[in-house]
Chain A
């Protein structure tokens, strides 16, 4: 891990967030939209975890701890919470898409749209 430049994970997170915003704004397929939101969540989670990383650090488990620095525990706790919440959000969105497909027979956001203006 020491050989990876420290800002590399941040670049990856920024790239993920940028791509997912492109998908969310421009893609018409509802499943792709959900995938974009899942990617946005992963990007934010990657950002949080890499915030807490310290070069050469060990896992923040306080029993029988080896010498040297520890990575921060708080961002990892935040990430776990965020993962759990996002599973719930994604599941709910998928059930709604199933219902939309049942009613309109389409997954295209232009065709399944009923409400305008």
Chain B
């Protein structure tokens, strides 16, 4: 068991990659065996993530150097800097890992029925496993170049998954937009990595953070990195691709894409807080992120009002919710250099943003899955064609309502728990930001009430008389997310103490992250 935990960070990535390459082989033998392999490997990875999380809460940051004589030895004797590929998992990374494993499992279980009528399912699951492995790699890596490689793995498999239903024209367009944005963003990340490498001859995040001088070139690299990650997470003004890609992908893929965007948000936070940290004066950066967040909230919600396509509407709502996280992170960054303000409200703002990340993945995931369930039964995403579905699809209706209420920040659901943290901390920074946030939440509620009434309420339409509830696996996947939404909403204090607070502390404690890597120097 100890050996398993010592090697768990690489095993999580390795097992998923191995399963991805086995899937085409097993898929030739039988579909059932293939599904068991896919679900089994994802469940095993999730179990390892939870075991690793428990280990990190007791023993601190987990460091794994690939190919070293002992796994924790990042800096071998005779070397002054880390030379190997190093995985470094702290409280923040493992929180992302937990979100990613839950979301991936729910999305895959949902696709078992949802994709069952499609061709090329074996290739679909291979790509899903590759994408999940890439996402875990992004969260666990302690090396900038690895971050680039895993970012590309996630983007390529994500784009292929969006475009997997080649019979529709719009899927190709959405997939193409996604791959163009992703490849440009990844190349910008690579360029910034080159700029950093040219000065310090280092690629390791911890070692780079220690050596950081914050020269002119470092500022340039910071700007490029922030721009690239903002492009990938769909913050305004580079949000145009997001609604197109999210609305046309199979919903289970969209749920994975949401979590992949969150991992870019994680990379953004890692860059700002850990790589640059207090050595840099990040007040201006914080304000830029706040402005981008406010714009995302506003444009996201106003564009959502006029949509008639249900998945496209939820996609715009995603842009709006990312705005809340960006505002929280931006406030944290703006007061990072001021210990008094940081203790008074900066930490809470960052906690709120992190808590909202996990909640966002859950409730947007649930909304998309419910929209996918409707599409599965009636074959259209157009709200004007729907009506009275609540009579026959009772579970789907309840799940959709749950997701909508959580997204609008209505107590006692999880969206309220994180939004209140953001509201009260941001209020101390600048009251106007909180007022905008509450206003946006109210409009979100109005938008979702419109959707709920046009899709589920009203007299049953004759043409949907034979529509049945969706299969059990789809209900199970939605139920997992719904139960977590309710639990997180009822016990926000527990969740904050258990996972959010350690993650915030890990993010703010730059010295511990550096020590875990370079502290091994005798």
Contacts and interface: CB of A to CB of B under 8 A. Distances in A.
Nearest to A78: B145
Interface residues of A, number: 34
B203 A103 contact: no
Contacts of B306: 117
A100 B156 contact: no
Contact of B184 (A30, A37, A99, A114): A37
B194 A89 contact: no
Interface in B203-252: 203, 243-244, 247-248
Interface string B141-173: 000010011001001100110010010011011
B149 A115 contact: no
A60 B480 CA distance: 53
A115 B191 contact: no
Contacts of A30: 176
Contacts of A113: 173
Contact of B173 (A33, A86, A114): A114
Tell me the dominant secondary structure on chain A's binding face.
helix
Interface in B169-209: 169-170, 172-176, 179-180, 183-184, 186-187, 190-191, 193-194, 197-198, 201, 203
A92 B159 contact: yes
A85 interface: yes
A62 to B, nearest CB: 15
Contact of A99 (B163, B186, B191, B248): B163
Tell me the dominant secondary structure on chain B's binding face.
helix
B475 interface: no
Contact of B175 (A47, A81, A96): A96
Nearest to A88: B156
Contact of B169 (A33, A92, A103): A103
A89 B184 contact: no
Closest 8 CB pairs of A and B: A103-B169, A99-B172, A96-B176, A85-B152, A89-B183, A115-B244, A100-B172, A51-B198
Among A41, A86, A114: residue with most chain B CB under 10 A: A114
Contacts of A40: 184, 187
Among A17, A40, A81, A85: residue with most chain B CB under 10 A: A85
B190 A115 contact: no
Contacts of B201: 72, 74
A96 B169 contact: no
29 contacts: A17-B191, A37-B184, A37-B187, A40-B187, A41-B187, A47-B194, A48-B194, A51-B197, A74-B197, A78-B145, A78-B190, A78-B194, A78-B197, A81-B145, A82-B148, A82-B190, A89-B183, A92-B159, A96-B163, A96-B175, A99-B166, A100-B173, A100-B176, A112-B173, A113-B173, A114-B169, A115-B174, A115-B244, A117-B307
